[in-house]
Amino acid sequence: MSVLTLSSGFTFDYTNLYGDGKVTAKDLAAAAGQLREAHQSVMQMRSTGIVKGHLSKDGQPEKVLFTQLPYIQEGHINSPEGIERLQQFGGSLRYKVDTVVSFGIGGSFLGNKVLFDIHCGDFYNFKSAEERQGYPKLYFSGNNLDPRRTDELIGHICREAELKQGEPYRVTLIVISKSGSTLETMATFMVAYERLKQTPNLEVTVVAVTDPAEGTNETLLHKLAREQGWPMFSVADGVGGRFSIFSEVGLITAACIGFDIDEFLAGAQAMDKACQTDDFRHNPALLTAALKYLGAEKYGRDIEIFMPYGDYLKSVSEWYIQLLAESLGKRVNRDGQEVFYGRTPVAAVGTTDMHAQTQQHQDGKRNKIVQFIRVLEWDTDPVIPDLFPNTAKLAEIAGISLSQGMEAARQANAQALAGDCRFNATFTLPKLNAYHLGELLYLLALSVAYEGELANVDAFDQPGVETYKRILGPNLQKLKNKK
Ligand SMILES: O=P(O)(O)OC[C@H]1O[C@H](O)[C@H](O)[C@@H](O)[C@@H]1O
3-state secondary structure 170-226: EEEEEEECCCCCCHHHHHHHHHHHHHHHCCCCEEEEEEEEECCCCHHHCCHHHHHHH
315 and 419 in a common domain: yes
Q: Specify the pairing of strand 202-210 against strand 169-176.
A: parallel
pTM above 0.90, yes or no: yes
Q: Could you confirm whether 54 is annotated as catalytic?
A: no
Residue nearest to atom 12 of ligand 1 (CA): 465
Domain encompassing residue 414: 3-59+276-466
439 and 294 in a common domain: yes
Contact between 360 and 307 (Cβ < 8 Å): no
Nearest partner of 418 among 20, 24, 28, judged by Cα: 20
**Is the residue at 481 inside a domain?**
no
Contact between 281 and 5 (Cβ < 8 Å): no
292 and 421 in a common domain: yes
Residue nearest to atom 2 of ligand 1 (CA): 177
> What separation in Å is there between the alpha carbon of 75 and the centre of ligand 1?
26
282 and 390 in a common domain: yes
187 and 283 in a common domain: no
What is the H or E stretch that residue 414 is in? helix 402-418
- Cα–Cα dist 171/62, whole Å: 37
> What separation in Å is there between the alpha carbon of 105 and the centre of ligand 1?
6
**Is the residue at 482 inside a domain?**
no
C-alpha distances in angstroms, 422 versus 17, 371, 418?
8, 11, 5
> Which of 62, 244, 465 to mutate to test ligand 1, by most ligand atoms within 8 A of the CB atom?
465
Atom in ligand 1 nearest the alpha carbon of residue 106: 16
Q: Which residues line ligand 1 (CB under 6 A)?
A: 105-108, 177-179, 182, 185, 241-242, 326, 462, 465
- Cα–Cα dist 285/209, whole Å: 30
Q: How many domains does the chain have?
A: 2
Contacts of residue 455, Cβ cutoff 8 Å, sequence gap at least 6: 293, 297, 328, 330, 333, 339, 341
30 and 96 in a common domain: no
| Residue in 355, 393, 478, 483 annotated catalytic | 355
288 and 183 in a common domain: no
Q: Could you confirm whether 314 is annotated as catalytic?
A: no
* Burial of 56 from C-beta contacts in 10 A (0-12 / 13-18 / 19+): middle
**Is the residue at 431 inside a domain?**
yes
| Residue in 52, 96, 298, 469 annotated catalytic | 469
Side chain identity, residue 227: E
DSSP string, 61-94: B----GGGTT---TTSSS-HHHHHHHHHHHHHHT
231 and 314 in a common domain: no
> Which of 105, 224, 235 to mutate to test ligand 1, by most ligand atoms within 8 A of the CB atom?
105
For the chain, state the CA radius of gyration. Answer: 23
Atom in ligand 1 nearest the alpha carbon of residue 107: 16
Residue nearest to atom 4 of ligand 1 (CA): 177
Q: Could you confirm whether 338 is annotated as catalytic?
A: no
> What separation in Å is there between the alpha carbon of 390 and the centre of ligand 1?
57
ipTM: 0.98
Please say which residue of 180, 214, 235 terminates a domain. Answer: 235
C-alpha distances in angstroms, 97 versus 67, 130, 404?
34, 13, 40
437 and 350 in a common domain: yes
- Residues across the chain: 483
Please say which residue of 181, 204, 235 terminates a domain. Answer: 235
406 and 291 in a common domain: yes
pLDDT for the residue 56: 86
pLDDT for the residue 66: 97
pLDDT under 50: residue ranges of the chain? none
C-alpha torsion angle, residues 463, 468, 469, 471 (rounded to 10): 130
- Cα–Cα dist 105/478, whole Å: 24
**Is the residue at 457 inside a domain?**
yes
pLDDT for the residue 483: 72
C-alpha torsion angle, residues 73, 230, 243, 257 (rounded to 10): 80
Atom in ligand 1 nearest the alpha carbon of residue 465: 12
362 and 428 in a common domain: yes
CATH of residue 282:
3.40.50.10490
- What does the pLDDT look like over 410-449, one tens digit per residue? 999 999 999 999 999 999 999 999 999 999 999 999 999 9
Please say which residue of 235, 266, 284 terminates a domain. Answer: 235
Per-residue H/E/C for 252-273: HHHHHHCCCHHHHHHHHHHHHH
438 and 293 in a common domain: yes
